[in-house]
Amino acid sequence: SSALQADGAGLVGVNAVAALNNQVQGALSTPQGRRRKENMLRLRDGVCVIGSAKDTVIRPAESTIFGFYKLQGEGARARLQLCMMEGTALFKDPDDPIGLRELDAKGKLVRVWREDAGHSDWHRNYDIMLDRLPRGDDAWLQTKLDILSQHI
């Protein structure tokens, strides 16, 4: 593994994110890529991703829930357009390389969005998360939050 170095446009040597962003041709069809998908689909409780319009650290804030900016047009007329998860090549890929579409179809991909939570508010104030999480087994959720709080 190479050392991380800033190159002005991102980090050199960070290949996992580039693979997931489909920037490394064929990376998701390797044994390691297939293992990522298998591991994602084995998550018993699924995946919960969180985000907020008030987040000033992550841009676009919607990338926390698998959104991204897409360049529309060319030259001086080029503009960034916000696209959500369903519009990504990763989601549309018939092979579903990381299992995102399958998780979503099974209801095991929970996207929690708030307009009023700052970047750090999620782990500083449980009420922010509890207010928006799907209700069900609150005892299970409290157990997970108790474990999480030990690592903050």
Position 67 scores a pLDDT of 84
| 117 exposure class (CB count in 10 Å sphere: 0-12, 13-18, 19+) | buried
Compute the average pLDDT of residues 65-84.
85
Position 30 scores a pLDDT of 80
Length of the chain: 152
CA distances from residue 92 to 96, 114, 133 in whole angstroms, order as listed: 7, 26, 26
- Residue 137 amino acid letter: D
pTM of whole model > 0.85?
no
CA distances from residue 75 to 9, 23, 71 in whole angstroms, order as listed: 20, 23, 11
CA distances from residue 56 to 14, 22, 52, 117, 119 in whole angstroms, order as listed: 23, 26, 9, 10, 7
Contact predicate 69/82, CB 8 Å:
yes
DSSP secondary-structure letter at 136? S
Per-residue pLDDT tens over the stretch 107-152: 888 888 888 888 888 777 777 766 666 555 566 666 666 666 665 4
